[in-house]
Amino acid sequence: MSKASVLCSYLDGGSGMPTYLLDIIQKHFHIVWLEDFEKDSSKCSNNILAILNVHGQPKVTQSLLERLPNLKLVAVVGVGYNHIDTKLLHSFNVKLSNTPFVLDDATADLGMTLLMAAGRNLCAVKDFAMAPDTTELQFNEVSCDVSSTTLGIVGMGRVGYKVAQRAKGFEMKILYHNRNQRPSVDEKAINATYYKTLNEMLPLCDYVMVTVCLTPETTNIMGAEQFKLMKSTAILVNISRGATVDQDALLKALNGGDIGFAALDVTSPEPLPRDHPLLKARNILITPHVGSATLTTRRKMMQKAMNNVLAAAEGKPLPSEVKL
Amino acid sequence: MSKASVLCSYLDGGSGMPTYLLDIIQKHFHIVWLEDFEKDSSKCSNNILAILNVHGQPKVTQSLLERLPNLKLVAVVGVGYNHIDTKLLHSFNVKLSNTPFVLDDATADLGMTLLMAAGRNLCAVKDFAMAPDTTELQFNEVSCDVSSTTLGIVGMGRVGYKVAQRAKGFEMKILYHNRNQRPSVDEKAINATYYKTLNEMLPLCDYVMVTVCLTPETTNIMGAEQFKLMKSTAILVNISRGATVDQDALLKALNGGDIGFAALDVTSPEPLPRDHPLLKARNILITPHVGSATLTTRRKMMQKAMNNVLAAAEGKPLPSEVKL
């Protein structure tokens, strides 16, 4: 019997499927590329068991679902699924899975990388050190401290907790805001102090890192009111989703001196339109949503996505199903 | 009685004395600027008690010492003093002090910042995210992991130990090479494994961080032989002194693929001449000797330098004298 198929967007580049993940897929399944499917869906549509959704591609539309009669699963290679119409999937009796846990370490690492690079002004001093006209060091240029400063974590889930574990090694004071207080054994392990009210925590922080999931409640959780409450030297780091930060308010806060700096791995949309004023702020650092972008992590994510597809093929419970 | 004086290079810019440190000096002493001293040394030379040496300035020469009959101390605002002719000082019966301890945290922070920025390819992804022509993210671009990789620390002194404490929060495996093995209680606190022989440790490391003091024994401690032993993907970080790394060998190793990347806060000389080939390597990140460059740390360093000058003025033992 021939292998079942999975539908993928395209190979390499942009939101395409990276070559370095193909072996994990092809060990079990045949890949149908979207372009070939669009040319002649009749040849392969019956055999497609799952859509592998990478960086939001292929887009899961009603028209696509109507042409996939035996589709069992949309397997998101990532954690966030706010780009998927869950009601639509449910109406087609198609399941949804994602790949939690395996990218927590890499994402927390990137959060700390952004925090430290922002605090120590890394990109600017690197540009200075490597510029063609630099002939003398500048002893009078200084940056912010990292060690022994105060970090406020907004959303103490798995990633937030891992950020705190890392920050503890720098003897940072850890504050956190979360819907629910963590058990005291968890808090003690990272010397963390709970703030039920976000706005009470913010004035105390040298760094604020946003690690919440994007929900209606956390959309724009960092807005004009929050920035006004922060220290004028404070540094905002966002590794959650772009929409957790009110970008118009952030721009005003950065330009008006309400806060000192922002380091964002996520924006809304991604990438920002090239004429977006945040790209012109002098006190910002933006990275292209690379929280999970290490080879090891991406391979773990694909393996986890495959485990879901394999379970769906065999009619077994999915290892990480998103309930619709 | 009028205040005693200290001799300083010049105000702000380059290796000058930063404005943000003046209050600490002027609380106790009058500042004589080198330019004024050179114009008419007879007016002020008798009153000068100490030279405040910042970033190697003012240069401590025989000609300068001959014109300072009441000089008691050269107070280096920093830890390294390899730019000072200690025999010359001794022959003039002038003492030497530096400012250890207070910059260890900031320097270890910068070491981790460089490690993470190099591993996660921060500057390149930032440039991509903020470039004028970027209109689509690249899911196929990946960087190295930080968490759960192996870090080899070359020189487990105060700064090396603080690097290890930070790296432990990332669940990195810590190996170290040092003249002497640390007591086992120190090793256990950071889960570190000792290698008496540097060359045995190097093949095991994903990251190698150099934190040794510069001595004749540690000059070029990282050379061609060492780079050949490292993983082809390994990342070298240097936060010690430029001369601990053989730069010609490093260039060959980077261009020839013996190692993957280098992140250097120190070079020899500083800054590198603008036509130096290391500045053109595609896999390097250089910062301008900013290990201690935070406002809090620089003020602590100056306070410590002042404590030495005050002790010298009163004929008391210096808090951090360098024995000549």
What residues of B are in contact with residue A142 (Cβ under 8 Å)? 18, 20, 293-295, 298
Asked whether residue A1 carries a pLDDT value surpassing 70, the answer given is no
B110 and B253 part of one domain:
yes
What lies within 8 Å, CB to CB, of A253 at 6+ separation is A224, A227, A228, A230, A259
Closest CA to A307 of A315, A319, A299: A319
Q: Enter the DSSP assignment of A53.
A: E
Separation between Cα atoms, residue B46 and residue B71, nearest integer Å: 8
Residue with structure tokens 């910002």?
A284
A57 and A89 part of one domain:
yes
Separation between Cα atoms, residue B265 and residue B279, nearest integer Å: 13
Separation between Cα atoms, residue A14 and residue B283, nearest integer Å: 23
Q: Please give the angle made by the CA atoms of A156, A161 and A165, to the nearest 5 degrees.
A: 145
Q: Enter the DSSP assignment of B79.
A: S
The answer for A14, left when phi > 0, alpha when psi is -120 to 50, beta otherwise, is left
Separation between Cα atoms, residue B7 and residue B94, nearest integer Å: 14
For the annotated catalytic residues of A, the residue numbers are 241, 270, 289
DSSP reduced 3-state for B54: strand
Q: Label residue A134 by pLDDT band (50, 70, 90).
A: very high
Separation between Cα atoms, residue B132 and residue B2, nearest integer Å: 60
What lies within 8 Å, CB to CB, of A207 at 6+ separation is A115, A119, A149, A150, A151, A152, A172, A234, A235, A236, A237
Closest CA to A163 of A222, A221, A105: A105
Do the Cβ atoms of A287 and B15 come within 8 Å? no
A314 and A282 part of one domain:
no
Structure tokens at A157: 């889930």
Q: What is chain A's Cα-based Rg?
A: 22
Do the Cβ atoms of B170 and A166 come within 8 Å? yes
Residue with structure tokens 């200690």?
B86
B203 and B156 part of one domain:
yes
B98 and B124 part of one domain:
no
DSSP reduced 3-state for A81: coil
Asked whether residue B1 carries a pLDDT value surpassing 90, the answer given is no
Do the Cβ atoms of B293 and A143 come within 8 Å? yes
The count of residues in chain A is 324
Phi, psi of B309 (to 5 degrees): -65, -40
B182 and B307 part of one domain:
no
pLDDT in tens, A157-191: 999 999 999 999 999 999 999 999 999 999 999 99
Mean pLDDT of A69-98: 96
B167 and B54 part of one domain:
no
Separation between Cα atoms, residue A19 and residue B211, nearest integer Å: 38
A229 and A124 part of one domain:
yes
B60 and B208 part of one domain:
no
Mean pLDDT of A106-121: 98
Mean pLDDT of B76-101: 95
Chain B nearest-CA residue for A123: B123
Q: Enter the DSSP assignment of A74.
A: E
- For residue B102, the model assigns a pLDDT of 97
Q: Please give the angle made by the CA atoms of A130, A131 and A137, to the nearest 5 degrees.
A: 75
Mean pLDDT of B119-145: 95
- For residue A201, the distance in angstroms to the closest alpha carbon of chain B comes to 23
Chain B nearest-CA residue for A125: B287
ipTM of the modeled complex: 0.95
pLDDT in tens, B186-223: 999 999 999 999 999 999 999 999 999 999 999 999 99
Could you tell me the CATH number of the domain that includes residue A187? 3.40.50.720
B258 and B300 part of one domain:
no
A11: number of Cβ within 10 Å: 14
- For residue B140, the model assigns a pLDDT of 87
B196 and B149 part of one domain:
yes
| Contact criterion met (CB below 8 Å) for B76 and B96 | yes
Q: Label residue A140 by pLDDT band (50, 70, 90).
A: confident
Q: B210 has which bridge partners?
A: B154, B238
For the annotated catalytic residues of B, the residue numbers are 241, 270, 289
DSSP reduced 3-state for A96: strand
Domain count, chain B: 2
Task: Note if the bond before B271 is cis, omega within 30 degrees.
Answer: yes
Expressed as residue numbers, the domain containing A270 is 104-286
A312 and A243 part of one domain:
no
